[in-house]
């Protein structure tokens, strides 16, 4: 009995990179792959590139569909046992899907598997490794930093059936929110093998829209902790997790130049956990309160952390 993998690639005006993404799937040495590209209305030649790469993939065109909606639509139309999505600017590494299929075949209890991922530049050059670690749900929740690299992550269809699809109201954190939603109960494991390449370029959403990224991080975390019936282990880390999320949002907004939002989130982080604020929060608050002068000082003394890699959640 073989394990069928369903890979969905959401696309929108991705002509620069989508050819490499598709070839990285079609060139895998694992034969049981169902591959669907869901396009949201590209006008830059993306559709012609997809059509020109053969009949081993299925193209679904639905103008106006956003990223999470495109992934959900592809999964809903598929029959694969193991699900994943590969963004149009990312790639799988050789042998990745064979290794994933073998892991799931050997472990019927396994719900979600993730490996390592490389950061790549525009031309595919290696910029280093995505910072991963073995799965610990409370550590993921507490830190508000996504150590599960989305393009190197795979899940059984039963996870989708049990916990629902990706949230279509999210633009930047649909992957991180999903790991937070399912990770407390699902069987999630990490393997120290590079499975994918995650491309960083100025047009990547988590690099080009930092304020939206920060706003969404706070919205996700405030929603997670909004209920009064939180499990005891989750309730214990509530203040620390919220403080970290608000601080990271402040940091993203600060470097985006959105200083009013940076001040708001930094002060919220301090008020959430005043006696043990996140590391760096006091400095960031002072810089944000200083306004444009604080931003100029930071530019002289500190490196913009978003110049190279996003420090929170997975790139979309």
Residue 309 clears pLDDT 60, i.e. is over it: no
Residue 315 clears pLDDT 50, i.e. is over it: no
The proportion of the chain whose per-residue pLDDT surpasses 90, expressed as a percent, equals 83
pLDDT, tens digit, 9 for 90 and up, residues 77-115: 999 899 999 999 999 999 999 999 999 999 999 999 999
pLDDT band (50, 70, 90) for residue 202: low
CATH classification code of 5-204: 3.90.550.10
pLDDT band (50, 70, 90) for residue 214: very high
pLDDT band (50, 70, 90) for residue 32: very high
Could you tell me the residue ranges of all domains in the chain?
5-204, 209-301
Range of lowest pLDDT (25-34, 70-79, 92-101, 122-131): 122-131
pLDDT band (50, 70, 90) for residue 316: very low
Residue 312 clears pLDDT 50, i.e. is over it: no
Cα–Cα distance, 183 to 80 (Å, whole number)? 21
**What pLDDT is recorded for position 308?**
46
- What mean pLDDT, rounded, does the chain reach? 91
**What pLDDT is recorded for position 304?**
65
């Amino acid at each position: 009995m073989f394990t069928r993998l369903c890979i969905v690639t959401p696309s929108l005006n991705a002509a620069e990179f989508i050819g490499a993404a598709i070839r990285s799937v079609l060139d895998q040495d694992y034969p049981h792959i169902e591959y669907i590209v869901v396009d949201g209305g590209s006008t830059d030649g993306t559709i012609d590139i997809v059509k020109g790469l053969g009949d081993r993939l299925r193209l679904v065109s639905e103008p106006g569909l956003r990223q999470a909606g495109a992934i959900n639509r592809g999964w809903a139309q598929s029959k694969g046992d193991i699900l994943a999505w590969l963004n149009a600017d990312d790639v799988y590494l050789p042998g990745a899907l064979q290794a994933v299929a073998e892991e799931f075949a050997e472990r019927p209890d396994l719900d979600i598997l993730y490996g390592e991922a490389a950061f790549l530049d525009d031309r595919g050059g290696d910029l280093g490794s995505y910072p991963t670690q073995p799965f610990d749900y409370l550590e993921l929740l507490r830190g508000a930093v996504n150590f599960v690299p989305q393009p190197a992550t795979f899940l059984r269809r039963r996870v989708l059936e049990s916990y629902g699809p990706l949230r279509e109201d999210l633009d930047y954190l649909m992957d991180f929110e999903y790991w937070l939603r399912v990770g407390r109960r699902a069987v999630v494991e990490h393997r120290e093998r590079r499975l994918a390449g995650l491309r960083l370029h100025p047009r990547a959403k988590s690099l080009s829209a930092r304020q939206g990224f920060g706003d969404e991080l706070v919205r996700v975390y405030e929603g997670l902790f909004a209920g009064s019936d939180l499990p005891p282990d989750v309730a214990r880390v509530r203040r620390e997790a919220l403080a970290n999320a608000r601080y990271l949002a402040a940091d993203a907004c600060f470097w985006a130049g959105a200083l009013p939002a940076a001040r708001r989130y930094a002060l919220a982080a301090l008020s959430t956990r005043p006696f043990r604020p996140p590391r760096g929060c006091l400095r960031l608050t002072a810089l944000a309160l200083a306004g444009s002068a604080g931003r100029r000082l930071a530019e002289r003394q500190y490196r913009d952390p978003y110049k190279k890699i996003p420090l929170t959640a997975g790139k979309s």
